[in-house]
Structure 1
Amino acid sequence: MISFPICKINLGLNILAKRKDGFHEINSLMYPVPVKDVLEIVPAEKFNFRSAGLPIPGDHSTNIVVQAYELLKKEFNLDPVSIYLYKNIPMGGGLGGGSANGAEALLLLNKIFVLNLSTDDLQKRAAILGSDCAFFIKSTPQISKGRGELLCDFNLDLSGKFLLLVNDGTHISTAEAYQGISPTTPKHNLENVLSQPIRTWKDDLINDFEYPMLEKYQQLKGIKNELYILGAEYAAMTGSGSTMFGLFSKPPEMENTFDFKNGFVKLIEL
């Protein structure tokens, strides 16, 4: 069985408080974006994991897809499977590609082995794998709270808008991003800001990771400025970085505006 895990952008990301468990309380809107990896899982005589595309650091045993299998295997005594993952979504870019892979593995295994787990059941198990994983069980616009696992549907439709993703290859780990954060109460209510026209978001829809990371990586600040020069209605960093994005009412005329040896530039109609 084969599927195509997608990624996400964060529209606003407020870091509210440090928790006793070491995580942080957040508030963010996660919006699904159709940039895709490829994940195939089939029954096999013995367990096997292979990957291609973008190189994945670390041992395969630590890959979130393998962890998803091990989680359900322990609970349901699953038979062996062969897993193939093709990575297209860059890592360390704030797009949630790894989390999407883990969630998609749970969805596929639920179908393959007819586990009959509900959406709620799958979200609870996805939250064990990672803070963003639960979002990708449904992959619809959702307000994310708690450490990212408390989700609520939100009526936001960006259909017809053009999304420009720009990643210059800079890798920012979640740990690095949090080092520059001082939790605080936001000046504006996220849900209220998101209910206003996109053109009003520039000053009020804030990703708390953005200021310290753009000060540290000045090239990212330059990308954001360029997105506005190109005519973006709103531009920001997604997640803990380093992917910058712009929302446009029509396709921007980029020519050779962004030219990186590593990273990527993708224009998507939502």
Structure 2
Amino acid sequence: MIVYPIAKINLGLLITEKRADGFHNLETIFYPVPVQDDLEVVYASEFQISITGIDLQEDPTSNLVVKAYQLLKDDFDLPPVRIHLHKNIPVGAGLGGGSADASYMLKLLSDLFQLQLDQQKLMDYALQLGSDCPFFINPKPVFARGRGERLEGIPIDLSGYYLVLVKPPVHVSTAEAYQHVCPAQGRISLKAISKFPVRRWRGNVTNQFEKYVFDKHPEIGGLKQKLYDMGAVFSLMSGSGSAVFGLFRTEKKSIHSYFPNNYRLFSQKL
């Protein structure tokens, strides 16, 4: 069985407070985007995993898809499987690729082994794997609060816009980014801002991680300005970075000519 985990971008990200449990409460809008990995699982005589595509520079058995398998195996009598993951979603980018892989793995295993897990149960398992994993159980535009697990559907439709997504050869540590962010309530809720037309998002929809990340990695901040110079209606860093996206009214052709060869680029109509 094969599934295709997709990425997300954050349409704004506010860190509102640090919690007693060490996590942070946040406010964001998750929006799914058509950048995807390939994940295949088949029956096997013994457990195996292989990973191709982007070099993750990690022991494959520590991957979140393995943790998802083990999580369900603890509650169900799952047989051995062979997993193959082809990575295309950039890592260390704020696009949720690892979380997507984990959540799609849960859904795949539920279908493959007829576990009959409903959406709420899948989301409960997903939250054990990561704060933004529940979003990928049913990836549609949502306003997210809490750790990112309190999800509310929101009527944002970017259909017709062209997405340009740029990932420089820089890895941003999410844990480090959280250590340097100063929690603060936004002057206006992102949920309210979402009702503004996209042309009014610039200057109103913000990502609190940008200040620290741009100070430490000026090239990432430069990408945001570059996308505006190219004509983006709106541009923002996604999550804790390092990917930056721009929304355009018209297709940007030959985008590779705008950026160095070692940058990963995606350009698709939403």
Q: Same fold (TM over 0.5)?
A: yes
- Displacement of 1:187: 1.2
CA distance in 2, matches of 1:153, 1:43: 36
SS in 2 for 1:250: coil
8 Å CA contact retained: 2:181, 2:208: yes
More deviation in 32-41 or 175-184?
Answer: 175-184
Root mean square deviation of aligned Cα? 1.0
Tell me by how many angstroms 1:255 deviates.
6.1
Pairs within 5 Å for 1:237-248: 237-248=237-248
Cα deviation for residue 179 of structure 1 reads 2.1
Distance 1:107 1:200 in 2: 37
2: distance between equivalents of 1:204 and 1:62?
39
Mapped pair 1:179 → 2:183: no
Tell me how far apart the structure 2 counterparts of residues 19 and 59 of structure 1 sit (CA, whole Å).
Answer: 31
Aligned to 1:4: 4
| CA distances 1:45-95 after superposition (whole Å, capped 9, x unpaired) | 111111111111322222100000000000012111110000111110000
The structural deviation recorded for 1:168 is 1.1
Question: For 2:259 and 2:194, how far apart are their aligned partners in 1?
Answer: 28
Instruction: Name the counterpart of 1:166.
Output: 166
C-alpha contact 2:92 2:173 (8 A) present in aligned 1 = yes
CA contact (8 A) 1:103 1:136 kept: yes
Partner of 1:33: 33
Separation in 1, partners of 2:151, 2:19: 18
The CA distance in 2 between the partners of 1:94 and 1:79, in whole Å, is 33
Distance (Å, rounded) in 2 between the aligned partners of 1:97 and 1:195: 27
Letter in 2 for 1:258: F
Opposite residue 133 of structure 2, the aligned amino acid is C
Distance 1:33 1:255 in 2: 20
Equivalences for residues 88-237 of structure 1 within 5 A: 88-237=88-237
- Report runs of 4+ in structure 1 exceeding 2 Å deviation: 252-255
Confirm or deny: 8 A CA contact 1:24 1:147 kept in the other structure: yes
Q: Which runs of 5+ in 2 are unaligned?
A: none
Matched-pair contact (CA < 8 Å) for 1:231–1:252: no
Contact 1:168 1:260 in 2 (8 A): no
Q: What's the TM-score, normalizing by structure 1?
A: 0.97
- How many residues align? The count is 269
Residue 13 of structure 1 deviates from its aligned partner by 0.4
Long gaps (5+) in structure 1:
none
1-side partners of 2:27 and 2:178: how far apart?
15
Residue equivalent to 2:260: 259
CA contact (8 A) 2:94 2:240 kept: yes
* 1:83 and 2:59 matched: no
